[in-house]
């Protein structure tokens, strides 16, 4: 089975800017729960964009499911939660409507949702514990509940790889714990590969099997337990 993600010798610079990533090697096997952490500006979001095929590396190669990431033909296998602090639209989108958008890659673009798609939407909503709030506008939910709805959107497409970019943005500490618990449970139940990208990893430290610290290059890659004590705050990680 091909690796879910493989970066080999990846370097990246924005046009006219300094090098953001340098000699990055990361391989993520199917079924792993990996946290990617690092200081703000350390390159983890750029690394994520390279993994998703939204940016092409200046050097090296990025593969997704064994194919070059920028022209991966199995994008429906990806579930993605973008970094956000809420909805960017004014219309009161309900949990069900947001989650249904995650079904587009599998269910097609035209017409209403088919019965099978509606089933997967309902299942994803139930999995994140928002069944009772399915028809409530997102704007009337807490930050933690909103993020759970976005996780459900990512799950609705039955992903093999779930990529979460700063999922605890705008979520209170209690909500962060609940979100982490839920991810650990989903990982156990579904066996989905999870890439959890955050500037701090404390909340998932006890769940993830592997921690990758990025500071322009990979400065640590291993079980969180083997991380030097002084490095637990990634903003102080030394290259």
Partner 1 sequence: MPELLSSDFMRLAFATGAIVGLLAPAVGFFLVQRRLSLIGDGIGHVAFAGVAAGYLLGISPVLSALAASLIGAVAIEWLRSRRHAAGDQALALVFYTGIAAGVVLVSAAGALDVDLFAFLFGSILSVTSTDLLLVGLLGLGGLGVTGLLFRAFAGVVLDEEGARVAGLPIPFLNVTMAVLAALTVALSMRIVGVLLIAALMVLPVVAASSIAWSMRSTMLLAMGAGLVSVLAGLTLAYYADLPPGGTIVLVAAALYLGAAATQALRA
Give the C-alpha separation, 82 to 184, whole Å.
19
- Least distance (Å) from partner 1 to the CB of residue 92? 6
Name which position in 25, 116, 126, 135 contacts partner 1 (CB under 8 A): 135
Does 134 contact partner 1 by CB under 8 A? Answer: no
Q: What x-and-dash track marks residues 152-191 binding partner 1 by CB under 8 A?
A: -x---x-----x----------------------------
Hey, what are 171's tokens?
């979520």
Query: What residues have CB less than 8 Å from 126, skipping those under 6 apart?
Result: none
On the 0-12 / 13-18 / 19+ scale of CB atoms within 10 A, 239 is exposed
The residues in 202-231 that bind partner 1, with binding defined as CB under 8 A, are none
- Least distance (Å) from partner 1 to the CB of residue 155? 13
Q: Which is nearer to partner 1, 90 or 115 (CB)?
A: 90
Helix (H), strand (E) at residue 21: strand 19-28
- Least distance (Å) from partner 1 to the CB of residue 88? 8
φ, ψ (nearest 5 deg) of residue 62 = -125, 125
Helix (H), strand (E) at residue 222: strand 217-222
Name which position in 1, 109, 225, 228 contacts partner 1 (CB under 8 A): 109
Query: What residues have CB less than 8 Å from 17, skipping those under 6 apart?
Result: none
Q: Which is nearer to partner 1, 113 or 219 (CB)?
A: 113
Q: Is 235 helix (H, G, I), strand (E, B) or coil?
A: helix
**Best CA proximity match to 28, nearest among 209, 188, 165, 229:** 209
Name which position in 4, 20, 24, 98 contacts partner 1 (CB under 8 A): 98
Give the C-alpha separation, 239 to 235, whole Å.
11
Neighbours of 142 (CB within 10 A): 13
Q: Is 129 helix (H, G, I), strand (E, B) or coil?
A: coil
Stretch that binds partner 1, among 35-43, 91-99, 196-204, 207-215 (CB under 8 A): 91-99
Name which position in 100, 171, 179, 208 contacts partner 1 (CB under 8 A): 100
Site size toward partner 1 (CB under 8 A) is: 35
Q: Which is nearer to partner 1, 148 or 216 (CB)?
A: 148
The residues in 20-59 that bind partner 1, with binding defined as CB under 8 A, are 52-54
Chain positions contacting partner 1, by CB under 8 A: 52-54, 72, 75-76, 78, 80-82, 87-94, 97-98, 100-102, 104-105, 109-113, 135, 137, 153, 157, 163
């Amino acid at each position: 089975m091909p690796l879910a993600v493989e970066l080999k010798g990846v370097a990246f610079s924005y046009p006219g800017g300094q090098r953001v990533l340098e000699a990055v090697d990361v391989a993520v096997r199917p079924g792993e729960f990996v946290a990617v952490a690092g200081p703000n500006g350390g390159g983890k979001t750029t690394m994520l964009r390279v993994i998703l095929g939204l940016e092409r590396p200046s050097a090296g190669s990025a593969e997704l499911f064994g194919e070059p990431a920028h022209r991966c033909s199995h994008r429906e296998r990806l579930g993605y939660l973008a970094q956000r602090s809420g909805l960017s639209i004014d219309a009161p989108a309900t949990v069900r409507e947001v989650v249904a958008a995650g079904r587009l890659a599998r269910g097609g673009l035209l017409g209403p949702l088919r019965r099978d798609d509606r089933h997967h939407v309902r299942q994803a909503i139930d999995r994140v514990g928002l069944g009772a709030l399915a028809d409530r506008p997102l704007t009337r939910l807490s930050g933690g509940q909103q993020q759970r709805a976005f996780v459900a959107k990512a799950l609705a497409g039955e992903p093999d790889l779930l990529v979460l970019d700063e999922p605890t943005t705008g979520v209170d500490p209690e909500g962060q714990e609940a979100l982490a618990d839920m991810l650990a449970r989903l990982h156990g139940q579904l066996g989905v590969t999870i890439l959890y990208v955050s500037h701090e990893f404390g909340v998932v430290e006890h769940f993830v099997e592997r921690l990758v610290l990025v500071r322009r290059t990979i400065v640590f890659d291993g079980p969180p337990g083997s991380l030097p004590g002084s490095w637990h705050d990634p903003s102080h990680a030394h290259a």
